[in-house]
Amino acid sequence: MKAKISRYVIGIITIWVMLFLYQTSQLPAHMPELIGVSESRDYQWLFIVLVTITSILFIWLELYTFDDARRYYGNAYIEHQPTRKHKWLMFGIMVLILIVFIIVQHFIKTPDSENQKMVVKAITEFPILNIYGVVVLAPIIEELLFRRLFFVFFFKGMDNPWVRGLGIITNGLFFASVHTSLFSPGMWVYTVMGMLFATTYVTTKNVKFSIALHMLNNLVALFY
């Protein structure tokens, strides 16, 4: 029991420190606005290079932290990989569910969250830089953080379907809490998205599939 509590405490501290470092690593993406660059196209590629470098460093830190945590705490559920056919089948199902979710969301009038407004504003002012960040960098970094690190610290015994379900729901709520207020009207959108990404990771046992789904979601969100 002591070991489990210790793992949870270390996990909470690690996740929040990583969230802070994540925001720090993305500072180059916000620099044009902070320093008041008026002609964004002349400078966007410079900031793209800078944010790529800081993101790669942070991704390396995430991978190192995950490998270290898995060596120490173990993760038998992830170690027993399903067949490639099963992985692609589950990914296909999750893509279909995501499409249905996007269509349903379109008919439910939910006010845009502050996060959505900030993203739209940033993309309008600095399109290349922020589309790159939203569609490519954010899904990679966030899936490694919200799925891989989250589950290795908090939900290891996912062979039990009840534990698996609880983990997916908790992960969805955690994902939503970081992106918007849990009491905001749009909270359900981020919760469902988080649960979709978590389900993809838990059923395929491969973060590449949840990254791909996250990228697809963010790409569609830009034009839908």
Average pLDDT on 186-201 reads 93
Distance CA 52, CA 36 (A): 21
Distance CA 21, CA 60 (A): 12
Give pTM, 2 decimals: 0.90
**Which letter does DSSP use for residue 108 in this model?**
S
Largest CA distance in the chain: 58
pLDDT tens figures, 22-68: 999 988 877 766 666 655 566 778 888 889 999 999 999 999 999 99
Q: Is the pLDDT of residue 214 over 80?
A: yes
Identify the pLDDT of residue 42: 64
pLDDT tens figures, 69-106: 888 888 888 888 899 999 999 999 999 999 999 888 87
Residues with Cβ within 8 Å of residue 86, at least 6 apart in sequence: 204
